[in-house]
Chains A and B, each alone.
Chain A
């Protein structure tokens, strides 16, 4: 039986009467990248803090790299790496100085520290930048340095909390190449992001809402299993005028503008009717079904939850 990198069962956390995390269960294998998605305040950070051994759960249990979060929190801290957008590098230190400083914080020294710094610099591509002042580097490089500092002690499980906020597309792609390398080394990675195009890079995903996990699967499974409607893309010469019309049609559950295109959400059954109605307008339009984005899935699931709350009279 393969040992799991992260395993949680019924993990819960109450702050006073407020249930921040409500029976969360998840498992991550070594070598896998797990995307943990949710809006602000959904319970992501509280869950991560429990998994890192920084916060005692109110109920349930979890093991991280084989250690129990309840009884072996101190050991967990030594085998995990953590990096967030708010990661505090020392801006007035050089790249090398930051690496040395954080390496020592993690208990490395002497030749071990030296060889790890060399290895990590090579992995991340920081060679030649040793004497650069951290504060003067572009944000993409700062992020890479922050990640380097978080993996010096060879953690088995890495937590990345919104690691790429505000970073440009090319730097983001390079950063993900790095995360894949870490997963190839057999490390498990848990990553949170607000940018759902980025969630496409993860092997598995879970969506958390109001402290509960409401959807899980690979990116493809999420789109297949949690988005029941049809998403149609309409290309037409006057999208703004048609938008106003579409909004009033009963078949249309949602419509949004993408440049010169409109994305229209309908139930499977009403697709044909919509096509006929559009034809009736006598416009040169083209309509095709498109795969929803993870953002579409995410928003759809959250709206469904909001309706449930309303229906139960809890809202």
Chain B
């Protein structure tokens, strides 16, 4: 059930130009309570600029940003206190312990030390056993979890995460998802940018941004419905050489080679049996051919090509 009061962030027609270059061009976006929105797009698409605008680190040339249902020209201090921002370049104090870092950041947000919050965050991030460890001596994944915990000490309602999982190993990444998921359950809103589309599969809604414009803003399921194609998985011996030979065939909109199989993208009206016949005629020894659900990567590449491709 959503209502207007659930709207934590509303962005309307936001544009930003840097030195004649349009970084953002009329972007609309919204994030609701308990929602996890993922911002995806190629390098330089405008993801970081958008997050910096929301944080108040940049000013938009045009458009409006509403925080927590209130329209305002500039981010006020009251609203700012309800934001938590974690960038790729977040820096912990390496010579302070885990707990000292948490203390430091709560003071930075003008809050007295709140033992209960610190304990909860330590438990929440599974860092309690490491509370006395110097931040510099933590693994990459643990550092990132601590950085996230530091972003949460002032109990923000809207979390802005700019590519937070770069360089984090899969085990720590799972912990990271669990933390984000628990925050969602608590009704927090999360806006996260990522270059990894498998991460975006976990989002409530995905915003695809390309060359400063919003190409799509949908649930992962609805986004996949926009994909005008079918993905067929082909298992055969030597997929690599077949990839080269089949790439030029017009019937395939796209081909993707994996280590031990191929994905063939065909038009929606094309039947699996037609493709099977086609492949056998080409001389492919088909061990297995079946339709698989499209991934967000298929959709992403499709939508970017549709919008005029990557420059």
Q: Which of A41, A166, A195 sits near B139, CB closer than 8 Å?
A: A41
Stretch at the interface among A7-15, A51-59, A123-131, A167-175: A167-175
Contacts of B261 in A (CB 8 A): 219-220
Knowing A180-B240, A259-B202 are in contact, say whether A85-B197 is a contact too (CB < 8 A). no
Report whether A260 and B204 are in contact in the complex, using a CB–CB cutoff of 8 Å: yes
Report whether B43 and A138 are in contact in the complex, using a CB–CB cutoff of 8 Å: yes
Residue of B nearest to A197 (CB): B198
Contacts of B198 in A (CB 8 A): 195, 197, 293, 295
Number of A-B contacts (CB under 8 A): 125
Report whether B44 and A295 are in contact in the complex, using a CB–CB cutoff of 8 Å: no
Report whether B167 and A85 are in contact in the complex, using a CB–CB cutoff of 8 Å: yes
Q: Which of A40, A167, A240, A256 sits near B169, CB closer than 8 Å?
A: A40
Interface flag for A201 (CB, 8 Å): yes
Task: Sort chain A's interface into a size bin.
Answer: 35 or more
Knowing A166-B163, A256-B181 are in contact, say whether A203-B221 is a contact too (CB < 8 A). no
Chain A nearest Cβ from B109, distance in angstroms: 28
For residues 210 through 254 of chain A, which have their beta carbon under 8 Å from a beta carbon of chain B? 218-220, 235, 240, 243
Interface flag for B276 (CB, 8 Å): no
A218 to B261, CA, bound (A): 10
Q: B144-176 interface mask toward A, CB cutoff 8 Å, 1 = contact, 0 = none?
A: 000000000000000000010011111111100
A264 to B2, CA, bound (A): 26
Interface flag for B258 (CB, 8 Å): yes
Interface flag for B259 (CB, 8 Å): yes
Contacts of A168 in B (CB 8 A): 41-43, 45, 195
A282 to B198, CA, bound (A): 31
Knowing A165-B167, A171-B42 are in contact, say whether A240-B34 is a contact too (CB < 8 A). yes
Interface flag for B185 (CB, 8 Å): yes
A201 to B240, CA, bound (A): 11
Knowing A171-B43, A260-B204, A298-B170 are in contact, say whether A201-B259 is a contact too (CB < 8 A). yes
For residues 251 through 300 of chain A, which have their beta carbon under 8 Å from a beta carbon of chain B? 256-261, 293, 295, 298-299
Contacts of A29 in B (CB 8 A): none
Chain A nearest Cβ from B138, distance in angstroms: 10
Knowing A171-B42, A184-B240, A293-B198 are in contact, say whether A259-B204 is a contact too (CB < 8 A). yes
Interface flag for A194 (CB, 8 Å): yes
A85 to B167, CA, bound (A): 9
Residue of B nearest to A233 (CB): B293
Contacts of A118 in B (CB 8 A): none
A204 to B140, CA, bound (A): 26
Residue of B nearest to A35 (CB): B259
Interface flag for B301 (CB, 8 Å): yes
Report whether B169 and A39 are in contact in the complex, using a CB–CB cutoff of 8 Å: yes
Interface flag for B220 (CB, 8 Å): yes
Chain A nearest Cβ from B220, distance in angstroms: 5
For residues 155 through 190 of chain A, which have their beta carbon under 8 Å from a beta carbon of chain B? 162, 165-173, 176, 180, 183-184
Interface flag for B141 (CB, 8 Å): yes
A256 to B300, CA, bound (A): 24
Chain A nearest Cβ from B21, distance in angstroms: 13
For residues 37 through 83 of chain B, which have their beta carbon under 8 Å from a beta carbon of chain A? 40-45
Contacts of A95 in B (CB 8 A): none
Report whether A203 and B260 are in contact in the complex, using a CB–CB cutoff of 8 Å: yes
Q: Which of B172, B221, B240, B301 sits near A169, CB closer than 8 Å?
A: B301
Report whether A40 and B219 are in contact in the complex, using a CB–CB cutoff of 8 Å: no
Report whether A138 and B44 are in contact in the complex, using a CB–CB cutoff of 8 Å: yes
Residue of A nearest to B198 (CB): A197
Interface flag for A302 (CB, 8 Å): yes
Report whether B170 and A140 are in contact in the complex, using a CB–CB cutoff of 8 Å: no
Interface flag for A151 (CB, 8 Å): no
A85 to B139, CA, bound (A): 17
- 6 A-B contacts, Cβ less than 8 Å apart? A138-B43, A194-B169, A199-B259, A200-B258, A203-B260, A256-B181
Given contacts A39-B172, A302-B171, list 10 more A-B pairs with CB under 8 A: A41-B139, A162-B167, A165-B167, A171-B43, A199-B259, A218-B259, A240-B34, A240-B185, A256-B177, A260-B219
